[in-house]
């Protein structure tokens, strides 16, 4: 490669000493704008500026350095002779230095130092015999000065770290946008179906993100795929509009995957979210953030028979009186529960499916944090006819309940099928057949129930219950429940 340029550039290429690169000087500018990195419009050549971190790289160079053809030129007001210690030279107070050339020859040289109007440089220019005589005479004096390798070395020691700092600042400018992402995978059919995100604008410059789109790329390694990623499958959902996102504000974004990712490949999933739009005054800004998916703390798909993936306990017919029928079966990966009381009976009957987390090798239960989410899908929760009961009470109930330490609870049911358990329980109805994704802490806080620390899930119960009647029923009452899946997932939050 040919090196084309002036003597200073040739010197830098030839010498390239690490001493110039040991410490860079920041080039941060107070007003963020791409052009500010070379011209911040803070220096017009007429008056030198001392706050050099306010200068673009072109302004900084113009203020502080000369070339062989611009030494004290009237075309460039600064640096000029008054920027140096020329008075000491005139008074005879500057001593010559011994300089050794590349060929080993020595000579004496006197150097002016740049002492003000910006950076201080020890070996700034070399005067000639005519310099003292022409001092104060307009025109031609710049031709009496010259530069040598000691000058170039001092220039490089000052300018190169500054240039590195500005280069770093330029990279920081292009990559200044920051996002924090909280990710929750959504499941269906033992696969990842969608990804719910909360995207927070954490740009240090506090610029807003606006008028753009969020794009998501998801990759995973298929079963028996190469560990080096060469067999990875990439999935690109449709983009989502960003709206306006002020600094430190978050927005919820949901991506539906065009193809399902099998749960068995869950650990290999990697995601990249990209924002493209306005960042402050910059158009077509790009911000990227990689993230993973959180831990699956509990997963029940009923793909392992009635015992499921855990040791569930189901009511058997012999646990009830001979007044009806009780059934728990797995059909097409769905737990189907039926509780029937025959005509002519007024005695109670129940059917429950229970899972105790305290017994699952954990003396406290399953730990719940502010980032823990419950996901479930119940396709049916019905009764053919509600049994008679005094006003304000019920004699039949059916629900999903979760019990926590210190007596807190959650109950999910349908209108008219719930049961008041305690004031420490939060009660919710839900849409049948929908994938329900809810934050457990939020469920309690929305109900005004404080959450203790530490917080543990102790049990899950799927309950069907007929209670006593005042007189024998004239209707065969039938409770029916179809539970597709239940999961507890820890949301993944990227570091800020």
User: Measured between alpha carbons, how far is 23 from 106 in angstroms, rounded to an integer?
Assistant: 32
HSE value, Cβ hemisphere, 13 Å, CA-based, for 487: 26
pLDDT of residue 254: 96
What residues contact 99, with CB distance under 8 A and at least 6 apart?
106, 107, 108, 109, 148, 150
Place of tokens 């039949």: 396
Domains of the chain: 7-174 (no CATH), 179-293 (2.60.40), 299-491 (2.60.120)
pTM for this model (two decimals): 0.71
Cα distances (angstroms) measured from residue 6 to each of 3, 18, 154: 9, 21, 16
How many CB atoms sit inside 10 A of residue 329's CB?
Answer: 12
H/E stretch holding 87 reads helix 86-90
pLDDT, mean of each 10-residue run, the chain (496 residues): 52 60 45 53 67 70 85 84 87 89 85 90 87 62 79 87 72 77 95 96 92 96 93 96 95 96 95 93 89 94 90 93 95 96 96 89 88 98 94 93 95 95 96 97 96 94 96 95 97 89
User: Measured between alpha carbons, how far is 399 from 411 in angstroms, rounded to an integer?
Assistant: 7
Longest dimension (CA), the chain: 128
> Interhelix angle for 7-15 vs 149-174, to 10°?
80
User: Burial code of 3-32, b = ≥16 C-beta within 10 A, e = fewer?
Assistant: eeeeebeebbeeeeeeebeeebbebebeeb
pLDDT of residue 29: 41
pLDDT of residue 157: 87
Cα distances (angstroms) measured from residue 390 to each of 209, 386, 394, 469: 58, 12, 7, 10
The alpha carbon of residue 346 and the mean position of all alpha carbons in its chain are separated, in whole angstroms, by 59
∠ Cα 362 367 369 (to 5°): 170
């Amino acid at each position: 490669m040919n090196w084309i340029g002036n003597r200073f550039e040739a010197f830098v290429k030839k010498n390239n000493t690490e001493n110039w690169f040991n410490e860079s000087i920041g080039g941060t500018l107070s007003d963020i704008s791409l052009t500010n990195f070379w011209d911040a419009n803070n220096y017009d050549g007429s008056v030198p500026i001392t706050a050099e971190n306010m200068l673009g790289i072109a302004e900084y160079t113009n203020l502080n350095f000369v070339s062989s053809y611009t030494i004290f030129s009237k075309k460039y007001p600064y640096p000029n002779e008054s920027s140096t210690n020329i008075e000491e030279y005139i008074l005879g107070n500057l001593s010559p230095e011994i300089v050794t050339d590349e060929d080993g020859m020595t000579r004496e040289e006197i150097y002016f130092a740049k002492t003000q109007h910006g950076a201080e440089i020890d070996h700034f220019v070399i005067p000639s015999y005519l310099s003292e005589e022409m001092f104060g005479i307009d025109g031609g004096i710049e031709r009496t000065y010259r530069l040598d390798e000691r000058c170039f070395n001092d220039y490089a020691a000052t300018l190169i770290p500054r240039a590195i700092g500005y280069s770093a600042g330029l990279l920081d400018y292009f990559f200044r946008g920051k996002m924090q992402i909280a990710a929750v995978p959504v499941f269906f059919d033992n696969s990842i179906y969608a990804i719910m995100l909360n995207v927070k604008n954490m740009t240090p410059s506090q610029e807003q993100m606006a008028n753009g789109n969020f794009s998501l790329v998801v990759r995973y390694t298929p079963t028996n795929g190469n560990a080096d990623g060469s067999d990875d499958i990439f999935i690109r959902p449709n983009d989502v509009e960003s709206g306006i996102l002020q600094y430190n504000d978050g927005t919820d974004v949901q991506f539906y995957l065009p193809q399902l990712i099998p749960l068995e490949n869950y650990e290999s999933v990697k995601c990249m979210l990209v924002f493209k739009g306005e960042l402050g005054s910059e158009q077509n800004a790009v911000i990227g953030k990689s993230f993973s998916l959180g831990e699956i703390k509990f997963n029940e798909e009923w793909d392992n028979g009635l015992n499921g993936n855990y040791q569930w306990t189901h009511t058997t017919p012999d646990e009830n009186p001979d007044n009806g029928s009780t059934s728990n079966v797995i059909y097409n990966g769905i737990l189907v529960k039926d509780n029937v009381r025959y005509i002519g009976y007024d005695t109670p009957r129940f059917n429950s499916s229970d899972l105790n987390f305290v017994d699952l090798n954990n003396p406290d239960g399953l730990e719940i944090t502010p980032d823990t989410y419950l996901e479930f899908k119940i396709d049916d929760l019905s009764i053919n006819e509600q049994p008679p009961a005094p006003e304000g009470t019920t004699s039949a109930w059916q629900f999903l309940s979760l019990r926590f330490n210190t007596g807190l609870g959650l109950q999910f049911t349908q209108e008219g099928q719930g049961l008041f358990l305690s004031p420490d329980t939060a009660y919710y109805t839900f849409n049948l057949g929908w994938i329900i994704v809810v934050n457990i802490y939020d469920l309690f806080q929305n109900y005004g129930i404080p959450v203790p620390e530490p917080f543990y899930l102790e049990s899950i119960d799927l309950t069907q219950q007929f209670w006593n009647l005042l007189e024998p029923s004239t209707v065969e009452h039938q409770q029916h429940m179809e539970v597709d899946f239940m999961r507890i997932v820890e949301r993944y939050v990227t570091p800020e």
